[in-house]
Amino acid sequence: MRKTFQYRIYPTRKQNIILLHVLSMCRKLYNDSLHDRKVAYQDCHCGLSYYDQAAWMKYIDYQGVYAHILQNVLRRVDTSFQNFFRRVKNGETSGYPRFQGRNRYDSFTYPDPYGTGYKIEDGKLHLSKIGAIRIFQHREIGGEVKTCTIKRDGDQWYASFSVELPDVEKKEIETSVGVDVGITTLATLSDGTEIENPKTLDKYDSKVKKAHRDLSRKKKGSSNRNKQKIVLAGIYRKVRNARKDYLHKTSRILADAYDQIVFEDLQIKNMVKNHHLARSIHDASWSMLINFTTYKAEYAGGIVELVNPRNTSKQCSVCDSIQSMPLSLRTYRCPDCGAVMGRDHNAAINIKNRYVPADCGELTPVEMVV
């Protein structure tokens, strides 16, 4: 099982320049190799492999960039082509691998196990051919480190370590919960618990608006406008981090408390819903919540299941009868059996009950108790 540990690093001004230089050389190599593959194909219909391209690399001067970082760039090119060919083969409309602009290409990787090209010592991350950069490790890395990736996020830098952990044995499922994700309430559980959307995010709302207003007042192309852009990016990063932090806490609670956690399959759900900007932000949060919960559950030997979202709000969780439920109705009142409960609570119970393991026919492995 793979797990990623990410930490902020604090390069000095000089190190910052070196990091940007490495990034820029990597991007150049990426775009050059993409170009070579294109030309080779157009001119003689031959494909270039990773090994073809790696063999040529020694003839080009990459200005002191660590060789294995460069090899990893070629691997990335290779992977993007393999993904492209796979999509073509599957008949999907597929984008040809793209040239990477300055703002898109934002990371490079030491592709070898810990100790080869990088190591942490005395609060510093030692990077071969770059230097020792101060690192803030808020928690220890567990497991065997396989690679180290250096990422840029605006004017900040991060190091993420990909770690191999032994597979965890699956727990027997004793506790199960259904989770309905929503806009007014982030998540409602089938036991009736409600997890609010984080209030901390509201306070950023006015800050974002103000920063946008300030930006629109600055002259295009002026240095003040560029400064304001950095301010705005910083606020967005804070919002993103605050949201992520909250989702980490929420997913931790779910993964610790339940062996099996059932969500709606958002991919199916989103096909039938139209998209607004506000919704897409929620979508991102929901996907992240499911994603975080999935790996935390796996890590603890539990499991996340996804079910078809059809009619989860309209169906009565007691007698299965279906009635129309406009969004404005916050309470479910069943005309057939008289059940009354919160709209999202009802949906969460349906979600929980909907999960049927493949080999169990109509039976659910857990009691249908709420």
Chain positions contacting Zn ion, by CB under 5 A? 316, 318-319, 334, 336-337, 339
Handedness of CA 204, 209, 212, 217 (dihedral sign): negative
Phi-psi region of 320 (alpha: psi -120 to 50; beta: other; left: phi over 0): left
What does the radius of gyration of the chain's CA atoms come to, in whole angstroms?
25
User: Which residue number, 130 or 334, has a Cβ lying nearer to Zn ion?
Assistant: 334
Q: How far is the CB of 180 from Zn ion (least distance, A)?
A: 17
Q: How far apart are CA 308 and CA 128, in angstroms?
A: 49
User: Which residue number, 157 or 332, has a Cβ lying nearer to Zn ion?
Assistant: 332
Q: How far is the CB of 272 from Zn ion (least distance, A)?
A: 24
User: Which residue number, 233 or 318, has a Cβ lying nearer to Zn ion?
Assistant: 318
Pairing of β 144-153 and β 156-164: antiparallel
Q: How far is the CB of 337 from Zn ion (least distance, A)?
A: 3
Q: How far apart are CA 139 and CA 329, in angstroms?
A: 45
CB 196 within 8 A of CB 202: no
Handedness of CA 79, 85, 91, 93 (dihedral sign): positive
Q: How far is the CB of 348 from Zn ion (least distance, A)?
A: 16
Q: How far apart are CA 32 and CA 252, in angstroms?
A: 43
Q: How far is the CB of 9 from Zn ion (least distance, A)?
A: 56
User: Which residue number, 186 or 316, has a Cβ lying nearer to Zn ion?
Assistant: 316
User: Which residue number, 67 or 318, has a Cβ lying nearer to Zn ion?
Assistant: 318
Q: How far is the CB of 318 from Zn ion (least distance, A)?
A: 5
CB 356 within 8 A of CB 364: yes
- Give whole-number Cα distances, 275 to 272, 281, 337, in Å: 10, 10, 35
Q: How far apart are CA 180 and CA 189, in angstroms?
A: 6
Opening angle at CA 103, ends 98 and 106, nearest 5: 85
| Residue that the structure tokens 């080009």 belong to | 60
User: Which residue number, 28 or 310, has a Cβ lying nearer to Zn ion?
Assistant: 310
Q: How far is the CB of 319 from Zn ion (least distance, A)?
A: 3
Q: How far apart are CA 118 and CA 130, in angstroms?
A: 10
- Tell me if residue 130 falls in helix, strand or coil: coil
User: Which residue number, 284 or 319, has a Cβ lying nearer to Zn ion?
Assistant: 319
User: Which residue number, 168 or 322, has a Cβ lying nearer to Zn ion?
Assistant: 322
